[in-house]
């Protein structure tokens, strides 16, 4: 009986040591890839800039930032996107945000920079030249 209790205690101790040293395997794995962004549209529509994009973030989206700059890099508009539907997700199909640009002198040829940072702290920034709304259907 004593031998059985002794063996059980030893097994329990071994289990605790094993878990302590190994921890969860995902903690030790290499980081997941940085977010991937495809901007499909950055179009001036009256006093708003319409941004359409697709995002894949294997490390889950943590923050999204839209910045509009002139060709020479002067920042005209900064827009953090905090909608809960876009944060904490692995993918965004059809990211669609309208940004107020009234009085900001945003013109065709300016540059939209979209930055997505994931929960690991990895960031990706992509740029797209801003277009003007078309008057007629193609």
Query: Which positions from 27 through 66 interact with another protein, judged by CB under 8 A?
Result: 41, 45-46, 50, 52, 60
Q: Which of 88, 107, 125, 129: binder of another protein (CB under 8 A)?
A: 88
- Alpha-carbon distance values, 111 to 48, 51, 68, 137 (Å): 14, 12, 6, 24
Question: What does the alpha-carbon distance between residue 95 and residue 51 come to, in Å, rounded to a whole number?
Answer: 8
Q: How far is the CB of 86 from another protein (least distance, A)?
A: 9
Q: Where does the chain show beta strands of DSSP type E?
A: 36-45, 48-56, 61-69, 75-81, 91-100, 111-118, 123-129, 131-132
At closest approach, how far in Å is the CB of 35 from another protein? 13
26 binds another protein (CB under 8 A): yes
Does 84 help bind another protein (rule: CB under 8 A)? yes
Question: Which listed range, 24-32, 68-76, 102-110, 124-132, lies at the site for another protein (CB under 8 A)?
Answer: 24-32
């Amino acid at each position: 009986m004593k031998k059985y209790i002794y063996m059980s205690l030893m097994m329990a101790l071994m289990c605790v040591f094993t878990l302590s040293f190994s921890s969860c395997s995902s903690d030790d794995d290499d980081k997941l890839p940085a977010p991937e962004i495809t901007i499909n549209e950055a179009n001036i529509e009256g006093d708003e800039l319409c941004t359409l994009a697709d995002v894949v973030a294997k490390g889950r989206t943590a923050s999204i930032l839209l910045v509009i700059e002139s060709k020479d890099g002067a920042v005209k508009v900064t827009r953090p996107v905090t909608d809960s539907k876009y944060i904490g997700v692995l993918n965004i199909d059809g990211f669609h945000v309208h940004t107020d640009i009234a009085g900001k002198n945003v013109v065709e040829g300016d540059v939209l920079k979209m930055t997505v940072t994931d929960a690991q702290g990895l960031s990706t920034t992509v740029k797209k030249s801003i277009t003007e709304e078309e008057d007629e259907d193609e």
